[in-house]
Amino acid sequence: MNIDRQFSNDKPIYVQLVQRIKRLIVSGALQPGDKLDSVRDIALDAKVNPNTVQRAFSELERTGLVYTQRTSGRFITDDVQLISDMRQELATEEIEMFFENMKQLGFDDAATIKMVKEKNHEHS
């Protein structure tokens, strides 16, 4: 399990960890039912505080994406529906952020959509 060691300054590290692990799950890098590395391993790997990793895991458990089996460790949920919901959610967030950024550049929503369509034609 590879987690980027660079963290941005504006958000707590555990929040960034949650986002990264979510992306790993949604993108399929972590498959449903996969076992997660231990807190200590991830902490050592990403060079962060073990309590921070612990907190990120608790957060993920709250969403249901990750569950703990008392003896054998932490696993990714088998609930494919939940993962696809999460994919949807992340996609929505990404789009909203995109529109927000475009607005700052001076494009309203309609202009943005138009540009995206043109760009899409170029691609295909």
Partner 1 sequence: MSILNCENLSKAFGRKVVLNNVNLSIEKGRIVGLLGPNGSGKTTLIKIINTLLVPDCGSVRVDGLELGIETKGIVSYLPDRECLPDWMSVEELIQFYCDFYEDFSKEKAERMIESLNINIKEKFRKLSKGTREKVQLILVMSRNAKLYLLDEPIGGVDPVTRDYILSSIIASYNEEATVVIATHLINDVEKILDEVVFIKAGEIILHDSVDNIREEHNMSIDEKFREVFR
Task: Give residues in contact with partner 1 (CB under 8 A).
Answer: 7, 9-14, 40, 43-44, 46-52, 55
**32 vs 50, which CB is nearer to partner 1?**
50
Question: Distances in Å between the alpha carbon of 101 and those of 20, 97, 106?
Answer: 21, 6, 9
Question: 73 and 38 in contact (C-beta within 8 Å)?
Answer: yes
**7 vs 57, which CB is nearer to partner 1?**
7
Structure tokens that stand for 38 in this block: 């231990």
**74 vs 87, which CB is nearer to partner 1?**
74
Question: Distances in Å between the alpha carbon of 16 and those of 4, 9, 27, 114?
Answer: 10, 10, 16, 32
- What is d(CA 26, CA 11) in angstroms, rounded to the nearest whole number? 21
Please state the closest distance from residue 101 (CB atom) to partner 1, in A.
18
Please state the closest distance from residue 104 (CB atom) to partner 1, in A.
18
Please state the closest distance from residue 43 (CB atom) to partner 1, in A.
5
**53 vs 83, which CB is nearer to partner 1?**
53
